[in-house]
Amino acid sequence: MKYIIIDLEEPDNGCEGFMPGEEPMVTLTLKDEDGNVSKVRVPDIEAYRLGWDTGSEINSEEFNKHVTAC
């Protein structure tokens, strides 16, 4: 199965920032090959490292390895 990232939401922690030890996460809105839409969360640094952005394609192996359902 392949997924397309159709939206990427980054948290806005404003001037408070993140708590010590808190890992920044992004929420990805994905559409699969059947047209189903879902939202998942991944560590921001991991999405950046993998080059995931709006329009990126994710295969099942990457999905299962890196993604946590919302």
- pTM for the full predicted model: 0.78
For residue 16, the model assigns a pLDDT of: 60
Structure tokens at 2: 């392949």
For residue 25, the model assigns a pLDDT of: 85
Q: Which of 55, 69, 58, 63 is nearest to 3 (CA)?
A: 58
Q: Which residues contact 3 (CB under 8 A, 6 or more apart)?
A: 30, 31, 32, 33, 57, 58, 59, 63
For residue 56, the model assigns a pLDDT of: 95
Q: Which of 21, 38, 18 is nearest to 29 (CA)?
A: 38
What phi and psi, each to the nearest 5 degrees, are found at residue 63?
Answer: -55, -50
Q: Is the pLDDT of residue 6 over 90?
A: yes
Q: Is the pLDDT of residue 70 over 90?
A: no
Q: Which of 37, 42, 35, 45 is nearest to 63 (CA)?
A: 42
Using one digit for the tens of pLDDT, what is the confidence trace for 14-49? 556 656 666 788 999 999 999 999 998 888 889 999
